[in-house]
């Protein structure tokens, strides 16, 4: 029988972060129905992701640090970011509602947090039921990390959406996958190395992720604010 308290602990971080990003988009809010659709499909993307990850694990013939790197960057990083990004591409990317750069971040974050919420339920409610610290750790680090990778993803998706020329569009679409995948891989690799000195870099890396991605978010937020005020003056 599922533990209701653990379930609430598992879903709270993802929902809270999604709401915080939703309210950050103050000047040209996205349709709630589309955001819910992106969140739900992001959650469902756990299914194909798990299938591909299990398949890729069969090719991890390495040992030691190479094995950890393969799992962190290829199995987790590239695969998870591919499917989370795919949700945005098939739902919101071509939508009329995606009409400013901040929108790319909002949609990417909702997809990622849908994914992270289901992943969190799997870990907190089912896999580590006897360890209450897992829910706290994942609420502080893992779920927010998915959001931060998504900010980078959305940043480049917006540059692709509003790019000039096919070459530029393709370049930013590639970056919207590979850059968050690398950030994700580094995060996982530090945790998987089993080498004590590597953990020295974990907190500084998390701080780095927050600083860099809050700057990206703020850049598009300011742009949204300026555009809104300009439109209000023209009315």
pLDDT, one tens digit per residue, over 100-130 is 999 999 999 999 999 999 999 999 988 877 7
- What is the rounded distance in angstroms from the CA atom of residue 69 to the CA atom of residue 180? 15
pLDDT of the residue at 185: 98
Q: List the domain range (segments joined by +) for residue 130.
A: 4-234
- Residue of 221, 220, 185 lying closest to 205 (CA atoms): 185
Q: Is the Cα dihedral 94, 147, 199, 135 positive or negative? A: negative
Give the pLDDT score at 2: 61
pLDDT value, residue 227:
87
What residues of the chain score a pLDDT lower than 70? 1-2, 235
Give how far Cα 139 sits from Cα of 126, 145, 201, 207, Å: 16, 10, 20, 16
Residue 35: per-residue pLDDT: 98
Can you give the pTM of this predicted structure? 0.94
- What the block records as the tokens of 41 is 């499909």
Per-residue confidence (pLDDT) for residue 4, from 0 to 100 = 85
Q: Domain count for the chain, please give it.
A: 1
pLDDT value of position 235: 66
What does the pLDDT read at residue 1?
Answer: 53
């Amino acid at each position: 029988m599922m533990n209701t308290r653990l379930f609430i602990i598992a879903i709270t971080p993802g929902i809270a972060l999604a709401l915080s990003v939703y309210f950050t988009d103050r000047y040209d809010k996205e349709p709630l129905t589309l955001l819910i659709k992106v969140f739900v499909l992001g959650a469902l993307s756990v299914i194909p992701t798990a299938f591909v990850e299990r398949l890729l694990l069969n090719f991890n013939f390495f040992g030691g640090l190479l094995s950890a790197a393969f799992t962190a960057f290829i199995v987790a990083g590239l695969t998870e970011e591919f499917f989370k990004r795919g949700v945005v591409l098939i739902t919101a990317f071509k939508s009329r509602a995606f009409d400013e750069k901040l929108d790319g971040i909002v949609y990417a974050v909702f997809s990622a947090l849908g994914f992270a919420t289901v992943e969190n339920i799997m870990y907190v409610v089912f896999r580590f039921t006897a360890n209450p610290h897992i829910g706290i750790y994942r609420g502080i680090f893992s779920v927010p990390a998915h959001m931060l990778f998504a900010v980078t993803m959305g940043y480049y998706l917006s540059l692709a959406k509003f790019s000039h020329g096919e070459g530029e569009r393709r370049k930013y679409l590639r970056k919207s996958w590979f850059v968050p995948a690398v950030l994700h891989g580094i995060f996982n690799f530090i945790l998987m190395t089993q080498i004590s000195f590597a953990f020295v870099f974990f907190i500084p890396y998390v701080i780095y992720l927050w600083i860099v991605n809050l700057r990206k978010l703020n850049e598009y937020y300011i742009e949204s604010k300026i555009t809104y005020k300009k439109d209000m003056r023209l009315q």
